[in-house]
Structure formats: structure tokens, C-alpha cells
Structure 1
Amino acid sequence: MRCPFCHRDEDRVLDTRTAEGGYMVRRKRVCTSCNRRFATVEKIEQLSVRVVKRDDTREPLDREKIRRGIERACSKRPVTSERIEQVVQSIESEVYNDYDTEIPAKELGEIVMRHLAALDEVAYIRFASVYQEFHSADDFIREVTRLTKLPAAQRS
């Protein structure tokens, strides 16, 4: 690793720590030429899975878009940011484990809804109402009825 100060390739690692659930490594280093300290970050480079939208266009899987949707659904609910991050990480891991290059948007939405149903039932209904484009109160009633008929283990 080149020193950002003297640009020499002579350093040693002082400390190594994992971050983001083991998907990232931070290293504290010291340059043996100029004795200045700096940090580096190593992150797994994953090939991007593309989301195939309903109109057949494709876009890269966007972790932040998933997070924003979940945060919006969980607004004013007793769900911590840490828990949301865990859910986003679980969704992302599931997608990367089960799909090589592409995932249909419908399947991605189903994965998010399954995770939301386990996280918070109200957040699930909020997300489902937008994702499934509810048009009437009957749509809400149908989904709440379906949700309440699930075994408790699947809901929480």
C-alpha cells in the first residue's frame, strides 16, 4: 500500500478490524519511511446483481433504495436503525446468494415484504400498500387478514 504522504510503498499494519458484519476490513498502518499513520479499508467487491423492472429495464441493485423503502415503512414505529441495517444486510445477502446476475423486481419486493412481515406488521402493511398498489380499503383488509392467518413464527 502506498503512503498517502510520502508515496512510498513501505508500511506495516498496526491493527486490523472487521466492520459491516465482516464484509469490510479496516487496517491502521504506519509508513516505515516517514512514520506517518493512515488507515485503509478493504471491501468485498461483488458483481452487481441487476434488478429487472416491470417494463423490462434493468438497474443495479441499490442497497440504499431498499433501506429508504424500509425506513419509510418503519417511520414512527419502534424499530431501531440498527435493526433496519440488519434487515437490509439480510436482504442483500439473500439476493447475492440466490441470484447470480439478475433478479426480477417482483421477487425482490417479495423478499423485502417477507423480511418486513417478520420485523414489524404495521411496516409490512405500509410497504405492501405501496408495493402492491392497494386501491381500496378492501385491499388493506385482505392483506391484514392474510397476515393475521400466518403462524406467529412466520410473523415475528
Structure 2
Amino acid sequence: MKCPYCSAPDSKVVNSRPSDDGASIRRRRECLNCARRFTTYERAQLEPLMVVKRSGPREAFNPDKLLRGLALATEKRPVEPEALRAFAYGFEDEVGAAEIASEEIGKRAMTFLRPLDDVAYIRFASVYRDFDSLERFIEEIRGLKDRDEG
């Protein structure tokens, strides 16, 4: 495994244990060059979930990409990183289909974030829905407030 710090090609496994209810293996590794430690996750993949992008092309689902988006939305918010990781890495198992539209991934992520944190939800929605005006942004916040009061 290539070191994310110094890009050296060799590392050794220091610790290994099941993760995500046995769906993956968490490995702590140590770089043989710089001696820094990092974590990797290994999971079986039979047939990749394909994501249909808005512009038409298809690409393999990448849970790390989803996790990055969720992490940005929840930065400095009281949301457990493990909850984000469980959602992102369990997403493929929950879909139960061969392909999914990128818009559906965004909708499911918003549904996941909504009960966790309103600010994270709005942050994610602002990117996902690509608000083109301040009025549209305010409308989304009002809709969030109306749902809370209703």
C-alpha cells in the first residue's frame, strides 16, 4: 500500500480488525520509509454500483467521494465521523441495484443529514441543489423551518 504522506510503495500492517459490522476490514499500517501510520479499509466488491452522472456518463460508485462531501458539510458540527463513515461505506449495500443516478445519491445524503444537523443539511443542499440565487437559498431554509414547526 502506497504511503499517503511520502508516497513510498511499502508499508506493513500493524493492526487489523473487522469494521462496518464485518462488511470490511480496518487495517492500521506503518510506512517503512517515514514510519508514519495510516488506516486503510478493505471490502469485497462483487460488481460495482454504477453512478449515472447528470451529464450522462457512468462511473463506479466511490464511497470516499461521498464521505468527503458529507465531511465538508459537517465540518465543525456536532456530527460523529463514524456515522458518516457508516453511511458512506454502507450506501452501496443499501441501494440494492446495479446503478443509481447521482441526483438520488444527493437526495439520500440529504435525507441522512436532515435529522443529524440542520446546518450540515443546508451546507450539503447548497452544493447539491446548486442554488442560483440568495432567494432560492432562503426558500430552502424557510422550508426547513416549516418542517420543524409542522
Shift of residue 65, structure 1, vs aligned partner: 0.2
User: Does 2:132 align with 1:125?
Assistant: no
Shift of residue 21, structure 1, vs aligned partner: 1.6
1: CA distance, partners of 2:19 / 2:84: 17
Contact 1:91–1:111 at 8 Å: present in 2 too?
Answer: no
2: CA distance, partners of 1:132 / 1:19: 32
2: CA distance, partners of 1:107 / 1:67: 15
What residue identity is the alignment partner of 1:45?
A: Q
Shift of residue 18, structure 1, vs aligned partner: 3.6
User: Does 2:60 align with 1:60?
Assistant: yes
Using the aligned pairs only, state the percent identity.
Answer: 39
Deviates more, 1:45-54 or 1:83-92: 83-92
Shift of residue 108, structure 1, vs aligned partner: 1.3
Residue number in structure 1 paired with 2:44: 44
Instruction: Work out which of the two has the higher radius of gyration on C-alpha atoms and give 1 or 2.
Output: 1
Q: How many positions carry a matched residue from both structures?
A: 120
Match for 2:133 among 136, 142, 156?
A: 136
- Describe the SS at the equivalent of 2:114: helix
CA pair 63-114 structure 1, distance change in 2 beyond 3 A: same
User: Does 2:102 align with 1:105?
Assistant: yes
2: CA distance, partners of 1:53 / 1:25: 29
User: Does 2:23 align with 1:23?
Assistant: yes
Moved over 6 A (4+): none
Taking structure 1 as the reference length, the TM-score comes to: 0.67
* Structure 1: runs of 5 or more not aligned: 1-16, 27-40
Contact 2:20–2:86 at 8 Å: present in 1 too?
Answer: no
CA pair 21-48 structure 1, distance change in 2 beyond 3 A: same
Deviates more, 1:51-60 or 1:134-143: 134-143
What residue identity is the alignment partner of 2:134?
A: A
- Describe the SS at the equivalent of 2:103: helix
